[in-house]
Amino acid sequence: MRIGLLGTGHVARALAAGWNRAGHDIVLGSRRPEDTELLGELKDLLDAGVRVGDPWAAAAHADVLVNATPGAASVPLLASIGAPALAGKVLLDIAVGYQVDDTLTHPSVSLGEEIQQAFPRTPVVKTLCTVDSVVMTAPGSLEGPSTIFLSGDDADAKRTVSGLLVDLGWSQESQLDLGGIVSARGQEHFALLFISIARATESFGFGIRVVPPAAQ
């Protein structure tokens, strides 16, 4: 599958490596695709066949476009690419607008909803925003099973994203469909608890698991 990733930070690099190993065709989208320092940092990915272009090239390449940009910048960047260029593509949204003062840029809704409203012809699926970049691509590194969530209005888009999660090591049994894109609020607002857990445990490398009640 052709995957474009918007961003070149830790999340985008980890996902590019994971999906590249699974055989997908990856383009990273950067605002500075010819920057020699950046290209040096991405050398291992480039040697493995991942390509780097600008955000418009990543979007043009993609069947699935992944938003791994800072949450406050996501909608403006997508708007600069343009609704016609995004129409019909699945948009896998990971971003959260978490700010240095421990607040969110979207306290009443979710970024996923904002993107879906701004681009109604582009089905948005929210996932992977409840774990860090290491656990995203190595759920087996945890001591036990963890749960990953999906939110979105389009069933076909969620099936596509579910398959990409399997390619990263998230079994079907570990995936929990929360419902429509409005449910992305819960995923994104978990960032507040995530940071508190990370500070308390002095680690970002953890997952969460939905534990059902014991059988009666």
What tokens were used for 70?
């800072």
Which domains does the chain carry? 2-201 (3.40.50.720)
Q: At a CB cut-off of 8 Å and minimum separation 6, what does 175 contact? A: 147, 148, 149, 150, 162, 165
Provide the whole-model pTM.
0.95
Q: How far apart (Å, rounded) are the C-alpha atoms in residues 167 and 25?
A: 13
Query: Is residue 216 scored above 80 in pLDDT?
Result: no
**Angstrom distances, CA of residue 216 to CA of 212, 213:** 12, 9
Residue-wise pLDDT tens digits, 148-203: 999 999 999 999 999 999 999 999 999 999 999 999 999 999 999 999 999 999 99
Q: At a CB cut-off of 8 Å and minimum separation 6, what does 121 contact? A: 83, 86, 87, 88
In this prediction, residues 1-22 reach a mean pLDDT of 97
Can you point out the beta strands (E) in 54-147?
64-67, 90-93, 124-127
Q: H or E stretch including 74?
A: helix 71-81
Residue-wise pLDDT tens digits, 130-142: 999 999 999 999 9
Band (pLDDT 50/70/90 cuts) for residue 107 is confident
